[in-house]
Structure 1
Amino acid sequence: MVFGTLLVLGAAAAGYYVYDKVKEQKAKENYAELISDANDQQDAETVRIKKRAILGRLVYGTYDRFRGAENYEEWWTNVHYRLVPLESVLSVDERNSYAEELQDELCNQYFGVFQRTNESLPSALAPNWVVAIRGTDLSNIEDIINDLRIFTETLHSSTLIPILEAVVRSLVAQHGYDNVNVTGHSLGAAAGLLVCRRLALEGCLVEGHFFNPPFTTLKSLLRVIPKEWRPMSEELCEDGKSLAMELLETDPDPYSKSKALAEFARLAKVNWSPYLYVNKYDVICNDFLSHFKKAKPGTCNYDEEKWYSSVTDLTQWVLGETESFHLFPFAHLNKIKKTKYGFRPVSAHKLWTWLNPRVAGQFKQARLIPRPHHLDGML
């Protein structure tokens, strides 16, 4: 009985692996119309769909480069980009300062820097410079560790973040933030959001496009639990958090809350609004849809869940400093509602779903608060 069950599960996994590879290959081959008729007169939705596909291809290129797949360069060369060595982006002092992180990046190949090679393309479709960050590869233990860091809000402690931030800052300094885009999938979306959020807090609004970004709260993990059990699970979650805080003999840090609210207000003031590609059936990222449900009247400080993470109070006493990347007041949401692909719960998180030109490209401007004229009342 056990052997038969394992055999069925193994066959299902093998079948899905083949299905996934077929979908990836189809996405790789679907590039001819992305560039050939590109022009500034196309409607906004068409441009968005093409830009989404181009950025997704660059992310796929970073996946296949890490995996050592054949002809991985085609992901970007076919849409007129070239891969730029990180050493050419960073100064000598930066390479020395981030020597350890740079070596780790060269081993894990988390991201690539891409420069557009066709100057005739409209910049709205193909930005001059793109930093593309891959997601998790289950064969790489460092990726698994970083995934765990996401859910404890300690991703900033990864060696990935310092070198990624240094590269993005260097590109911005050399070319201006209007000419730089950051994109990533899953783990890469989390890393890109964290870095772009830091820059936005300084008023540097680098455009970011993030596919299936994880939504990291304790409650978000309960999405995998059957609906009828969730109320009990949420109550147990809150009781467990309270018990842990009591055993640790600590109270929520008021400084963390005031800092989080100040950051939220700052992001609203500079009008930072990252582009999020979210699938309704993806349990890793679909909490963004409920989180950005509608704008709230007045100030934001009455609804703590919108600007303060429930993870922070618990993990900062166990693991040290935490840093949220998923809490901000505005976003451009491009969401998938209807799907026909196989094994939907897994496929919903796949990057190839976004390279389908039939998926709508229209973005909805999501706001947790009305766009403020001034923010004095928020603090």
Structure 2
Amino acid sequence: MTSEREDFNLSGPLHLNNVDWKNEDHRRSVAACLVQGVYILERDRQDNRRGPQALAPLWWEFFHFRLHRELVDDVDQCIFGSIYEFKPPFDGNHLDGSPRYAIAFRGTLTKGDAFLRDLEMDVHIIRNGLHQTSRFETAIQAVRSTVATHGSSNIWLAGHSLGAAMAILAGKTMAKTGIFLEAFLFNPPFLNMPIERIKDKKVKQGIRIASSFIAAGLTVALKARQKRNIVNTSEDHLAALSAWFPSLFVHPGDHICSGYIGYFEHRKQMEAMGAGVVERLASQNPIGGLLMNAMGKDSGEPLHLLPSANLIVNSIPAQDFKQAHGIHQWWQPDLSLQSIAYNYK
């Protein structure tokens, strides 16, 4: 059964018939629609909608992109990502501010035959093991190939929820090699203690400060046997990622991504207190991961470890979690957005 939200003519940003590629609202809206295109592409596949019945193409063709390649999971053959090529309807291959290629990843589909595989990917995120999956291997190979062929200066990464996690991991992987891709990360998962649900600001601040000092202390204690300078290692690792400046789009009513709000605020407060080193150690080594390491299990790098970012918060109250977490909010024309740039130094 076709949902109204799958139909671009019913729920897409029809007002963007003339995109200004220097306008941040326009760029955000287009990136969100390209991610939606991946969702609908997989829904078209599941419902066997082809040719004129397919609903996905208008989500990218409206903005003069063409589908360059589908990214398919090798386990269940579901479509989890797409590579789009920008093809303006006039001479010239590139407009100032526009991407030449955009690589987009969808999030979890709660219905249909992709659900179980998507759920498996969600579990890997919780365990910091997404980098070990064949789906991510397909994704990062696609990113590397696109960059190697076309350069990195005008390639976008975009993703929503699970797809945002995929884009974060791909972006961080490339950043560690000195390649910094423009990224639009919608409702990216932040998996840590659900502190944002606490209403009292002083209580939240106290819990965060205590957690940071505990995590930093455990890090030093557990790794002292390695006889190396943990502080310098932490600084070097963050510095390697610091030049990557992704855009994170979050809603405070979405408990999956709202942790980023407190994460960056707390980091700023710890710097002001003169405890920035403590927080950087704690960020890289959350308590849960340290306990896994103590049991001899590799917890992997925390997905949310982002030294620099442009955090964009949608302050319009949501009716429910579904609305707060939905991709659809990000192409609405009258959003009330608050943007804060966090630049690691």
TM-score per shorter chain, which class? Answer: 0.7 to 0.9
Indicate the RMSD between aligned Cα atoms, in angstroms. Answer: 3.4
Aligned match of 1:335: 313
Out of 272, 295, 302, the residue aligned to residue 244 of structure 2 is: 272
CA contact (8 A) 1:212 1:284 kept: yes
Matching of residue 31 in structure 1 with residue 5 in structure 2 = no
Offset of 1:85 from its aligned partner?
2.6
The answer as to whether partners of 1:153 and 1:216 remain within 8 angstroms in 2 is no
Q: Which amino acid aligns with 1:103?
A: D
Q: Which residue number corresponds to residue 204 of structure 1?
A: 179
Change in Cα spacing, 1:260 to 1:155, as seen in structure 2 (3 Å) is farther
Structure 2 vs 1, CA of residues 72 and 206 (structure 1 numbering), >3 Å: closer, same or farther? same
Whether contact under 8 Å (1:28, 1:57) holds in the other structure is no
Kindly indicate whether the alpha-carbon contact (under 8 Å) linking 1:50 and 1:357 is maintained by their aligned counterparts in 2. Answer: no
Identify the range of structure 1 (310-319 vs 141-150) with the bigger mean alpha-carbon deviation. 310-319
Q: Could you list the per-position Cα deviations for residues 15-68 of structure 1 after superposition, in whole angstroms to 9, with x for gaps in the alignment?
A: xx99xx4455478644333242x347xxx5xx1111111111111111111112
User: Which residues of 2 match residues 81-100 of structure 1 at below 5 A?
Assistant: 81-85=65-69
With the length of structure 1 as denominator, give the TM-score of the two structures. 0.72
Q: Structure 2: how far apart are the matches of 1:361 and 1:287?
A: 17
Show structure 1 runs of 5+ residues with no match. 1-16, 88-100, 246-250, 372-379
Compared with structure 1, are the counterparts of its residues 149 and 167 closer, same or farther at alpha carbon in structure 2 (3 Å cutoff)? same
Quote how far apart the aligned CAs of 1:113 are: 0.5
> 2:102 matched to 1:130?
yes
Q: Which amino acid aligns with 1:190?
A: A
Matched ranges for 1:30-109 at <5 A: 30-36=12-18, 38-39=19-20, 47-68=23-44, 70-85=54-69, 103-104=74-75, 107-109=77-79
Alignment correspondent of 1:181: 156
Residue type of the partner of 2:241? L
- C-alpha distance in 2 between matches for 1:170 and 1:299: 41
> Across the two proteins, how many residue pairs are aligned to each other?
311
Say if 1:143 and 1:253 are closer, same or farther in 2 by CA, change over 3 A: farther
Residues 351/159 of structure 1: CA separation in 2 closer, same or farther (3 Å cut): same
2:169 paired residue number: 194
Which runs of structure 2 are paired with 1:1-379 in the superposition (5 Å)? 21-22=3-4, 25=7, 29-36=11-18, 38-39=19-20, 47-68=23-44, 70-85=54-69, 103-104=74-75, 107-118=77-88, 119=92, 122-124=95-97, 126-139=98-111, 140-217=115-192, 219=193, 221=194, 223=196, 252-253=222-223, 260-268=234-242, 271-293=243-265, 294=268, 296-297=271-272, 300-303=276-279, 304-316=281-293, 317=295, 320-339=298-317, 341-343=318-320, 345-360=321-336, 363-367=339-343, 369=344, 371=345
Q: TM-score, structure 2 length as denominator?
A: 0.78
SS for the counterpart of 1:348 is: helix
Structure 2 residue runs without a partner (length 5+): 48-53
Mapped to 2, the partners of 1:157 and 1:361 lie a distance apart of 35
Q: In structure 1, what is the Cα distance between the partners aligned to 2:244 and 2:135?
A: 23
Report the 3-state secondary structure (helix = DSSP H, G, I; strand = E; otherwise coil) of the residue aligned with 1:357.
coil
Q: CA deviation at 1:163?
A: 1.1
Q: CA deviation at 1:314?
A: 2.8
- Aligned-partner Cα distance in 2 for 1:263–1:183: 24
Q: Which amino acid counterpart does residue 184 of structure 1 have in structure 2?
A: G
Partners in 2 of 1:329 and 1:311 — Cα distance? 20
Percent identity reads 23
Counterpart contact for 1:194–1:324, Cα < 8 Å: no
Secondary structure at the counterpart of residue 278 of structure 2 = coil
Structure-1 separation of matches of 2:288 and 2:324: 25
2: CA distance between counterparts of 1:28 and 1:277?
Answer: 24
Q: Matches of 1:82 and 1:362 in 2, distance apart?
A: 32
Distance 1:358 1:279 in 2: 15
C-alpha displacement of 1:302 = 1.9
- Report the more deviating stretch, 294-303 or 352-361: 294-303
**Cα separation, 1, equivalents of 2:319 and 2:73:** 39
Describe the SS at the equivalent of 2:285: coil
